[in-house]
């Protein structure tokens, strides 16, 4: 792509992101700011085979390098480790100008991976005593994860914009078409239902049975919206990703006719989120994707004393709202929930 008359011409910047799906989504504002400030640079991303698809169709990325994970849950992949070693050698041959370990805090593992690229400059948040890089930054003590990652651009002379961009995701058209067919089979139409989801790793951060049923009844009564009740399949002790089957069972036992269960993987779940009028999710990757969707999201938070608070992980976007309970989402007052949903609806 020729950008001879644009700033940053000739620079090759590699952004490394090895985390979960929601974390990758929150990295897209960093990519947008890079493109805006250095439009002539080649912006490339190193991602895993788990999260690389989040960047599909992103206009701010010139290339995505994908590595196979060497560890999934308790399983070790020798082939994955070998593929990583081969890719590492290739990346060093590419001679990048800048490598950025895109983490909102210090991560020795991410820093080592960034150094492994052999770029002329390496930027990372680094605590004392950790691997040295050419452009170390002190880890921020506060701020949203999006802003922490944009803060990594300071060594390039780029500050955090007064109004930072929000996360961006473009669902492929086949995904949306598949979701539309699924809805039609259930007698639902795009924009005529809400989603209430589980999907948090801690039970205290999920709505309880009574809340799901009451919120679903309110959505039907006040806005004539059916509810798609969504949860992650599997047992709660799954080492790779805990499921919510046990939590969903009591809801299903008393589900009204307008509540439609969806026990499925993330990919089709995203299609349903994009067709929803509004979504309700606990703090999770799906919450962040829903915040980027047309219908928006109400995010649910709890236990800020043992997990990062909304000030760091709140959903971002014009149609994003959130509520926080001190100990458990089950403590949230229904009227507060309905007020937030009213703003979105």
Residue 183's CATH number: 3.40.50.2000
Q: Is residue 166 in some structural domain? A: no
For the record, the structure tokens of 10 come out as: 């000739």
Selection from 199, 195, 257 nearest residue 229 by Cα: 195
61 in the same domain as 24: yes
336 in the same domain as 189: yes
148 in the same domain as 184: no
Q: What is the pLDDT of residue 225?
A: 98
Cα 89 to Cα 93, 94, 193, 195, distances in angstroms: 6, 9, 49, 45
Whether 123 and 155 have beta carbons less than 8 Å apart is answered as yes
Q: What residue numbers bound the domain in which 87 lies? A: 12-156
For the record, the structure tokens of 303 come out as: 């236990």
Q: Is residue 167 in some structural domain? A: no
CA distance 251 to 198: 11
CA distance 27 to 288: 12
68 in the same domain as 110: yes
Q: What is the pLDDT of residue 144?
A: 97
CA distance 45 to 218: 44
Q: Is residue 45 in some structural domain? A: yes
Tokens 């999907």 sit at which residue? 199
The per-residue pLDDT string of the chain (345 residues; one tens digit each, 9 = 90 and over) reads 333 344 667 899 999 997 788 999 999 999 999 999 999 999 999 998 889 999 999 999 999 999 886 555 555 554 555 676 777 778 889 999 999 999 999 999 999 999 999 999 999 999 998 889 999 999 999 999 999 999 999 999 999 999 999 999 989 899 899 999 989 988 999 999 999 998 767 788 899 999 999 999 999 999 999 999 998 887 766 666 667 888 899 999 999 999 999 988 888 899 999 999 999 999 999 999 999 999 999 999 998 777 778 999 999 999 999 999 999 999 999 999 999 999 999
| Phi then psi dihedrals of residue 233, to 5 deg | -70, 150
Selection from 198, 344, 200 nearest residue 277 by Cα: 344
177 in the same domain as 149: no
pTM: 0.90
205 in the same domain as 282: yes
193 in the same domain as 219: yes
Whether 50 and 35 have beta carbons less than 8 Å apart is answered as no
Q: What is the pLDDT of residue 10?
A: 83
Cα 14 to Cα 27, 86, 93, 104, 131, distances in angstroms: 13, 17, 13, 16, 19
Give how many domains the chain has, as a whole number.
Answer: 2
Q: Distance between the two ends of the chain, CA-based, in angstroms?
A: 42
118 DSSP 8-state letter: T
Q: What is the pLDDT of residue 89?
A: 76
Q: What is the pLDDT of residue 90?
A: 84
184 in the same domain as 331: yes
For the record, the structure tokens of 241 come out as: 């990703």
Q: Is residue 168 in some structural domain? A: no
């Amino acid at each position: 792509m020729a950008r001879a008359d644009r700033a940053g011409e000739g620079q090759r910047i590699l952004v490394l992101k090895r985390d979960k799906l929601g974390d990758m989504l929150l990295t897209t504002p960093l990519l947008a700011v890079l493109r805006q400030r250095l439009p002539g640079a080649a912006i490339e991303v190193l991602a895993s085979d788990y999260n690389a698809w989040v960047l599909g169709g992103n206009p701010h990325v010139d290339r995505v390098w994908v590595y196979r994970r060497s560890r999934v849950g308790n399983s070790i992949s020798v082939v994955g480790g070998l593929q990583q070693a081969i890719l590492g050698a290739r990346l060093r041959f590419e001679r990048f100008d800048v490598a950025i370990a895109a983490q909102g805090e210090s991560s020795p593992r991410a820093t080592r991976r960034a150094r492994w690229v052999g770029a002329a400059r390496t930027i990372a948040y680094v605590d004392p005593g950790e691997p040295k890089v050419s452009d170390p930054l002190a880890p921020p003590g506060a701020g949203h994860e999006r802003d922490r990652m944009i803060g990594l651009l300071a060594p390039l002379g780029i500050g955090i914009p007064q109004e930072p961009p929000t996360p961006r995701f473009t669902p492929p058209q086949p995904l949306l078409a598949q979701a539309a067919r699924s809805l039609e089979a259930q007698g639902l139409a795009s924009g005529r239902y809400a989603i209430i989801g589980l999907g948090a790793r801690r039970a205290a951060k999920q709505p309880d049975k009574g809340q799901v049923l009451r919120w679903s009844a309110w959505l039907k009564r006040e806005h004539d919206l059916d509810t798609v009740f969504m949860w992650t399949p599997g047992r709660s002790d799954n080492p790779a990703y805990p499921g919510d089957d046990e939590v969903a069972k009591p809801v299903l036992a008393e589900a009204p006719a307008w509540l439609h269960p969806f026990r499925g993987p993330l990919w089709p779940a995203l299609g349903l989120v994009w067709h929803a009028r509004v979504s309700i999710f606990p703090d999770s990757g799906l919450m962040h994707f829903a915040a980027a969707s047309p219908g928006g999201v109400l995010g649910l938070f709890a236990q800020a004393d043992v997990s990062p608070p909304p000030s760091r992980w709140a959903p971002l976007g014009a149609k994003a709202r959130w509520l926080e309970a001190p100990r458990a989402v089950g403590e949230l007052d229904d009227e507060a929930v309905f007020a937030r949903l009213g703003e979105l609806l």
